[in-house]
Amino acid sequence: MAHKHPESVLILIHTKDQVLLLQRQDNSDFWQSVTGSLEVGETRFQAAERELEEETGLRLNNCLQLVETGHRVRFEIYPRWRHRYRPGVTHNWEYEFYLELPSPQQVCLTEHLSQCWLPLAEARDKASSWTNKLAIDRLIQRKHSCKN
Is residue 1 a part of any domain in this protein?
no
Sign of CA dihedral 24, 31, 135, 56: positive
Average the pLDDT over 125-143 and give the result.
Answer: 94
Residue 2 lies in a domain: no
Tens digit of each residue's pLDDT (9 = 90 or more) over 8-65: 999 999 999 999 999 999 889 999 999 999 998 999 999 999 999 999 999 998 888 9
How many domains is the chain partitioned into structurally? 1
Share of the chain above pLDDT 90, in %: 84
Q: Is residue 104 part of a domain?
A: yes
Domain annotation covers residue 37? yes
Boundaries of domain holding 54: 7-147
pTM of the model: 0.92
What's the CA gap between 136 and 125, in Å, rounded?
9
What is the SS3 assignment for 126? helix
Backbone angles phi, psi at 77, to 5 degrees: -75, 130
Nearest to 129 by CA among 5, 29, 17: 29
Residue 81 lies in a domain: yes
Rg (Cα) of the chain, in Å, rounded? Answer: 15
- Give the Cβ contact number of residue 132 at 10 Å: 24
Domain CATH for 124: 3.90.79.10
